[in-house]
Amino acid sequence: MEKLEEKEHIDQFELSKEYLEKLQLAISEQDDQFIKNTLDETNPADISTILLEFETEESRYVLDVLENEVSAEVINDLDEDVRSKYLKEFNTTEIAAMLNELDSDDAVDIINELPLKDREEVIASLENKEKAKNILDLLRYEEDVAGGLMAKELIKANENWSINQCIEEIRRQAENVEKIYSVYVVNDQNVLLGRVSLKKIILADDHLKVKDLYDEDVISVETYMDEVDVAEVMRKYDLDAVPVVNVQGKLMGRITIDDIVDVITELAEEERQMMAGISEDVEEDDSVWMLTRARLPWLIIGMFGGILGAQFIGVFEKDILMVPAMAFFIPLITATGGNVGIQSSSIVLQSLASKSVFDDSFLKRITKVLAVAILNGIVIAGIVMGMNLILGQEIKLAIVVSIALFTVVLLASFMGTVTPLVLDKLGINPALAAGPFITTANDLLGLLVYFSVAHFLLI
């Protein structure tokens, strides 16, 4: 294989089959120069995507060729289940060398995925003793609270420092901080007082002190705050980073926007799978058993719902025999009820995701839902009535179907609104209401309404 004479710069990475074939050949021939030249300027997230196409041993070889800092970022970008496989290829000393290149919060995430014995060995092998101390501090917190999300690396300044002293300290501290959003100001007891921008510090006169510059209006979160609430704070106030304090107000760390994006993505994925009737966090490349286990519970519930629906139809079998055309409209009734229910629950879920102290009362919500449902029901029922008459259906049957549809729209809207609100009050994920649960319930409700109306008006 010919070596590349010039370095390839990948400004906008595009994974192609041809490149994978070349990289596969480079790995088999141990052409380190090709690997370095083509991946040196590539974003670690893109390298992670590439390595998923290879066997673990081959990926390990690529990581060994790359700079340790890049390899660490690649490992950090992998999904947790994939990363656990990769970590088995490295000994504790090698893992410690990679963790030295990561922020403390990312390092803790990786350490938590290791066996207990390996965790202790990795921490003991860390060359950066300050990082080891930071990691031990963070391990005390649960993963889903602010303390578990925060990184210890930040820039802080004492209120009594002079401007020159502050600049020197910023230079020293910045060696361990990848992104600087603000300089946090503390007192001698490390209590957070406020923040000051780099621009203010740079432009300030030398005779001033930090306490003459900082802004007391700083938004912070406490270590025990739930990650969902932290995400809401950062979204509401459009923050790139937020300081974390303990109950005494002492500065403990900071949470940056990239960590919150991960939280929001995970929550959205969890709700999406819940709405689709998947009970576990799974991906396409998981094992057949895991995928089956995640899907079966709701499929079984849906199956029982179908059996109950068949029983409803069986109860009105004589009515169907007398008016066979009734059977034609069963799919219309069930589909309409399911769609209306999902629409209503999705709107409620959206409002629950961005709660406000000014949210409408329960009565006001139900009134609005009822008004919308009446309008939708009238339009749908009118369209169905007109279509039935145009197609030559019996007038009585057309009336029955229209009345049933109108009623189903009202009931499905009510169910789709109330169910997620009730689940939220009970502390259950309201996304359940937008999945197979609400669909199955509305199918049964729609069939009951349809045959009941037909029984009283048509038979």
Class of domain 17-142: mainly alpha
Q: What is the model's pLDDT at position 189? A: 95
What is 288-457's CATH number? 1.10.357.20
Q: Where are the domains of the chain?
A: 17-142, 156-266, 288-457
Reported as a pLDDT band with limits 50, 70 and 90, residue 193 is very high
Q: What is the model's pLDDT at position 221? A: 95
Q: What is the model's pLDDT at position 432? A: 60
**pLDDT surpassing 80 at residue 357:** no
Reported as a pLDDT band with limits 50, 70 and 90, residue 459 is low
Write out pLDDT tens, residues 382-406: 999 998 888 887 888 889 899 999 9
Q: CA distances (Å), 278 to each of 152, 284, 292, 405, in order?
A: 36, 12, 10, 30
Q: What is the model's pLDDT at position 279? A: 55
Q: What is the model's pLDDT at position 447? A: 86
Report, in angstroms and rounded to the nearest whole number, the Rg of the chain calculated over CA atoms.
30
Which of 423, 409, 69 has its CA nearest to residue 275?
423
**pLDDT surpassing 80 at residue 445:** yes
Write out pLDDT tens, residues 297-355: 767 777 777 787 787 788 777 777 777 888 888 888 888 888 888 888 877 777 776 66
| Residue burial 57-84, b: 16+ Cβ < 10 Å; e: rest | eebbbbbebbeeebbbbbbbbbeeebbe
Check if CATH label 3.10.580.10 holds for domain 156-266.
Answer: yes
Residues above pLDDT 70, as percent of the chain: 88
Across the chain, mean pLDDT equals 83
**pLDDT surpassing 80 at residue 157:** yes
Give the global pTM: 0.66
Write out pLDDT tens, residues 1-60: 444 333 444 444 566 788 888 888 989 989 889 888 888 778 888 898 888 888 888 888
Name which residue leads in pLDDT, 280 or 41.
41
